[in-house]
């Protein structure tokens, strides 16, 4: 198994965890899904994020997902492991495991439920930083964790040598530009709000971490190519407007993981349903999903 050491940039898919009908992880489908993502041009994979249902997996299952993802990727793209948990001790263990298995970095949100103070949160990240030797991508998602990491706080974390990136998912574009102004080259900023992706590229974001990339990987990769590499704003805008109906539906519907998995199945890449407490998308929701998908060329079922 090869490893990658290049700087993170581009489209990183917040990878789903394929599951069987009985709720167990489906190793073969995960292998095939990773291969499909890479073949469609995505630049990195993030297993065990919120779209990957890390919170519903056992430690053994989390290791299994990482091992399969790493073996399937085989160094062709960076694999950044979600290493989140409720306690610092658990996060350290998951982060060290990710490093030992060969992951290129770890994605770290604030611990959920305990609502640490800024001083406690800084100490949390410092402890993890000192326990590993791979890059950390911070994950600011107050809607999920209940903890909002301000741009000023995130900038203070760049004093920790492994804090190199941030996925900013507050949904506020001003957070992105403030982070870039405060941190400069010390911190690579990734868009974490799907509907702000094109605007984020325009102002200098290194990339986009997206769950809908599971569904439309080629479109995500093409948008990055048009906007960042070729700087063809007109073509990028046209493509983004085609993608926007499904991005808006997913972002605002309150059933992100459920609908991502349902949309994958619609396009012939069945990854099963979420694990409880989440449930499969209702039949009444599938029509809206299908209609939104059809606005984008890649979303038209063969």
Q: CA–CA separation, 23 vs 192, rounded Å?
A: 28
Name the burial class of residue 58, with classes exposed (0-12), middle (13-18) and buried (19+) by CB atoms within 10 angstroms of its CB: exposed
Just list the catalytic residues: 139, 167
Domain containing 191 equals 10-222
Chain CA centroid to CA 123, Å: 24
- Asked if residue 87 belongs to a domain, the reply is yes
Find the CATH number of the domain harbouring 41: 3.20.20.70
Average pLDDT in the 284-297 region? 93
pLDDT at residue 28, as a whole number = 98
d(CA 96, CA 83): 9
User: What pLDDT does residue 145 have?
Assistant: 86
Whether 289 is in a domain gets the answer no
Beta bridge partners of 45: 13, 79
Residue 286 lies in a domain: no
Name 108's bridge partners: 138
Q: What is the mean predicted confidence (pLDDT) over 253-277?
A: 96
209 domain residue, yes or no: yes
Beta bridge partners of 186: none
Name the band, by pLDDT with cuts 50, 70 and 90, for residue 143: confident
Based on the structure, what is the number of domains in the chain? Answer: 1
Lowest model confidence (mean pLDDT) among 25-29, 210-214, 280-284: 280-284
Q: Residue 301 — pLDDT band, cuts 50, 70, 90?
A: low
CA dihedral 272, 274, 280, 286 (to 10 degrees): -70
Q: What confidence score (pLDDT) does residue 1 get?
A: 46
DSSP per-residue string spanning 156-174? HHTTSTTEEEEEE-SS-HH
Whether residue 107 lies inside any domain: the answer is yes
What secondary structure letter does DSSP report for 194?
A: G
What is residue 160's predicted lDDT score, i.e. its pLDDT?
A: 98
Q: Which CB contacts under 8 angstroms, 24+ apart, belong to 6-9?
A: 6/78, 7/188, 7/206, 8/43, 8/44, 8/78, 8/80, 8/104, 8/105, 8/135, 8/137, 8/164, 8/165, 8/188, 8/190, 8/206, 8/207, 9/43, 9/188, 9/206, 9/207
Could you give the residue ranges of the DSSP H alpha helices within the chain? 27-39, 59-73, 88-101, 118-131, 142-145, 151-157, 173-183, 197-203, 217-224, 233-252, 256-266, 283-293
Q: How many residues does the chain have?
A: 302
Residue 236 lies in a domain: no
82, 51 Cβ separation under 8 angstroms? no
157-179 residue pLDDT tens: 999 999 999 999 999 999 999 99
Average pLDDT, the chain: 95
Is residue 129 in a domain?
A: yes
Q: How far apart are the first and last CA of the chain?
A: 34
d(CA 289, CA 294): 9
Instruction: Check pLDDT > 50 for residue 4.
Output: no
What would the pLDDT profile of 212-264 be if each residue is shown by its tens digit?
A: 999 999 999 999 999 999 999 999 999 999 999 999 999 988 999 999 999 99
Per-residue tokens: 44:
């990195």
Q: Please give the Cα distance from 219 to 217 (Å, whole number).
A: 5
């Amino acid at each position: 198994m090869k490893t990658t050491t290049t700087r993170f940039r581009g489209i990183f898919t917040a990878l789903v965890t394929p599951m069987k009908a009985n709720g167990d992880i489906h190793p073969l489908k995960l292998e095939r899904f990773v291969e499909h993502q890479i073949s469609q041009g995505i630049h990195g994979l993030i297993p065990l994020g919120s779209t990957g249902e890390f919170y519903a997996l056992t430690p053994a299952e989390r290791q299994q997902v990482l091992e399969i993802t790493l073996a399937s990727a085989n160094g062709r793209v960076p694999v950044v492991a979600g290493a989140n948990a409720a306690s610092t001790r658990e996060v350290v263990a998951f982060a060290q495991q990710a490093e030992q298995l060969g992951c290129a970095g770890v994605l770290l949100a604030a611990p959920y439920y305990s609502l640490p103070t800024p001083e406690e949160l800084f100490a949390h990240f410092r402890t993890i930083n000192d326990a590993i030797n791979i890059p950390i991508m911070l994950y600011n998602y107050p809607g999920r964790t209940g903890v909002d990491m301000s741009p000023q706080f995130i900038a203070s974390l760049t004093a920790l040598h492994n804090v190199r990136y941030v996925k900013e998912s507050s949904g506020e574009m001003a957070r992105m530009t403030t982070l870039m102004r405060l941190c400069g080259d010390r911190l690579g900023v990734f868009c974490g709000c799907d509907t702000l992706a094109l605007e984020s590229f325009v102002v200098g974001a290194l990339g986009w971490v997206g769950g809908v990339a599971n569904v439309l990987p080629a479109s995500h990769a093409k948008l990055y190519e048009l906007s960042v590499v070729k700087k063809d704003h007109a073509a990028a805008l046209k493509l983004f407007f085609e993608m926007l109906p499904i991005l808006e539906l997913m972002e605002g519907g309150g059933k992100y993981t459920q609908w991502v998995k349902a949309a994958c199945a619609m396009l012939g890449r069945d990854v099963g349903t979420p694990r409880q407490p989440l449930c499969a998308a209702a039949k009444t929701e599938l029509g809206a999903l299908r209609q939104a998908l059809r606005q984008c060329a890649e979303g038209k079922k063969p």
